[in-house]
Amino acid sequence: MSRSIAARLLDWYDAGHRDLPWRRSPDPYRIWISEVMLQQTRAEAVIPYYERFLQRFPDAAALARAPLDDVLACWAGLGYYSRARNLHKTARLVAAGFPRSYIGLRQLAGIGDYTAAAIASIAFGLPHAVLDGNVMRVVARVTNDAADIASGRTRSRFRAIAQGWLDRRRAGAFNQALMELGATVCLPRAPRCLICPIHSLCQAAQAGRAAELPIKLRQLKPVELAETLLVIARGQRLLMWQRPADSQRLAGFWELPSPRQLPGLRSGTAIGTFRHTITHHHYRITVHRGMVRGAVRPLRWIPIAALNELPLSTTARKALQLALVTV
């Protein structure tokens, strides 16, 4: 069965797949950047960030030389900013060349099992199967396995199954084919079983329960939160504050103030609201014009023309867009 899965997937992939920019080169740097960006983010959303990032930092040496603030500013909007910090940190270690083994890759900051397997197989042709959300979904359905995929034991078993399917002669192409299947055919809520190249080998499809799998039992309950942000202008400057370097979230990023930060901050005309989600936290953010009286420390007046050069949080960007401030 494993040979049949590999052969069918590779034939399907060779016949036509998405022309994604990171698939045009076996350069481990480009593959590394793309795989890190693709964590928790759809390919369509990643493409403009990927192209802009490579234009600014064309190789690991350029990334290593750049100030962290420049890297964060280029990353702004993708979220999960620890990824950008790990890229910057790791670039200094790989500027002279990437480790050419799975174990060597795995030891680098920000490179886990999945990313190490992706780089090892796609850049170097090494026989390591990837296991991401798309692949877990395919494995769960092909094997008709209703185990909780949040379990580490289930992940280990699914990784072994994917490794057993792997075509060792074309490891990189096989991994990309398996991920492509999960991203375009074996979809989470509406699997396109009738056009799936391995439909006849899929036990869940034959049982009529493909859409029920995979199972994830450990769901976090959504938390609804409200926040207010102020857009306070003085001429061509905006009042903002920077998160400290030791902040647990968004360290070094610039934010708009909220009324609770200083007694002298006052809300004015309402501009609008927007939604913002971080994992299971759902924020309803209201944006107001603001006023200020007295001292503003530790807040700072930032020239609007300089905002493009700063790492701005996503909420700050959304609020400024509502206020028609061009960033």
- The confidence score (pLDDT) of residue 2 equals 59
Does 133 fall in a domain?
Answer: yes
| Pick from 245, 246, 242: nearest CA to 261 | 242
Q: Domain end: 212, 237, 260, which one?
A: 212
- The confidence score (pLDDT) of residue 80 equals 85
Number of Cβ within a 10 Å radius of residue 235: 8
102 and 234 both lie in a single domain: no
Does 114 fall in a domain?
Answer: yes
Distance CA 325, CA 327 (A): 6
The verdict on whether 227 is a catalytic residue reads: no
- The confidence score (pLDDT) of residue 52 equals 96
- The confidence score (pLDDT) of residue 14 equals 97
34 and 8 both lie in a single domain: yes
Does 102 fall in a domain?
Answer: yes
Instruction: Please answer whether residues 58 and 66 qualify as being in contact, where contact means their C-beta atoms are separated by less than 8 angstroms.
Output: no
CATH number at residue 230: 3.90.79.10
123 and 16 both lie in a single domain: yes
Which 3-state string (H, E, C) describes 66-78? CCHHHHHHHHCCC
Does 302 fall in a domain?
Answer: yes
46 and 138 both lie in a single domain: yes
- The confidence score (pLDDT) of residue 219 equals 67
pLDDT at 133 over 90: yes
Summarised one tens digit per residue, pLDDT across range 225-243 is 999 999 999 999 999 999 9
pLDDT at 3 over 80: no
Residue ranges making up the domain that contains 180: 2-212
pLDDT at 137 over 70: yes
Summarised one tens digit per residue, pLDDT across range 315-325 is 999 999 999 87
182 and 78 both lie in a single domain: yes
* Mean per-residue pLDDT, 24-49: 94
Q: Domain end: 172, 190, 212, which one?
A: 212
| Domains: count for the chain | 2
The β-bridge partners of 215 are 148
* Mean per-residue pLDDT, 180-204: 96
Lowest mean pLDDT among 47-56, 101-110, 127-136, 211-220: 211-220
Annotate 150-161 with b (16+ C-beta within 10 A) or e (fewer).
eeeebbeebbeb
Percent pLDDT > 90 in the chain is 81
pLDDT at 146 over 70: yes
Indicate the pLDDT class of residue 90, thresholds 50, 70 and 90: very high
CATH number at residue 69: 1.10.340.30
- The confidence score (pLDDT) of residue 248 equals 77
Distance CA 165, CA 180 (A): 15
245 and 316 both lie in a single domain: yes
158 and 73 both lie in a single domain: yes
Neighbouring residues of 273: CB distance < 8 A, sequence distance ≥ 6: 284, 285, 286, 287
Distance CA 137, CA 308 (A): 39
Can you say whether the dihedral through the CA atoms of 246, 250, 255, 261 is positive or negative?
negative
| Pick from 146, 151, 149, 164: nearest CA to 203 | 146
Indicate the pLDDT class of residue 245, thresholds 50, 70 and 90: confident
Element (H, E) at 10: helix 2-15
| Backbone dihedral region for residue 208 (phi beyond 0: left; psi -120 to 50: alpha; all else: beta) | left
Q: Domain end: 151, 180, 212, which one?
A: 212
Options 35, 51, 224, 227, the catalytic residue: 35
The β-bridge partners of 224 are 282
- The confidence score (pLDDT) of residue 40 equals 84
Element (H, E) at 275: strand 265-278
Number of Cβ within a 10 Å radius of residue 103: 9
pTM for this entry: 0.80
44 and 136 both lie in a single domain: yes
As a whole number, the mean pLDDT across the chain is: 93
Distance CA 201, CA 142 (A): 7
Summarised one tens digit per residue, pLDDT across range 108-131 is 999 999 999 999 999 999 999 999
127 and 249 both lie in a single domain: no
Q: Is 18 helix (H, G, I), strand (E, B) or coil?
A: coil
90 and 233 both lie in a single domain: no
Does 217 fall in a domain?
Answer: no
Summarised one tens digit per residue, pLDDT across range 277-310 is 887 889 999 999 999 988 788 899 999 999 988 9
Does 87 fall in a domain?
Answer: yes
33 and 112 both lie in a single domain: yes
Does 80 fall in a domain?
Answer: yes
Does 218 fall in a domain?
Answer: no
250 and 193 both lie in a single domain: no
